[in-house]
Structure 1
Amino acid sequence: MSRPERLKRRNSKVRDFISSLEKKHPQWRFDAVVEETADNFFISPRTVEAILRREGVYAD
């Protein structure tokens, strides 16, 4: 699997994880969900936000 394919797959999993956290913990603030996702995927919170917004290199 090539690097771009792995990144697309990771980004998709990040979005799915965020969605599941929001359903599981509706009382959590958005930044708490982002922080939990960042910790789970070993990436920065800013990267999580960029993936969600499909910014720059994170646009699919």
Structure 2
Amino acid sequence: MAGCGRQLRAATGGPFGLDFGAVIDMGSARRVDTDLLAQVLPGIERILLDEINTGGDDPS
């Protein structure tokens, strides 16, 4: 997922999802198994958004 941080869809309230098409295209260019990538992206998206919205592990 490295390099996909700029593939977020965002609105006024902040990021709300990954641009799956762009992420799959990036994976294809990097010769990743795009079928597998498509299967795991929804779970990864949820984790990334949770981390962004909670500020990660930063307790401050």
TM-score by length of 1: 0.33
Bigger relative contact order (CA 8 A; separation at least 6): 1
Q: Would you tell me which structure has more helix in proportion to its own residues? A: 1
TM-score by length of 2: 0.33
Greater Cα radius of gyration, structure 1 or 2:
2
Q: Would you tell me which structure has more strand in proportion to its own residues? A: 2
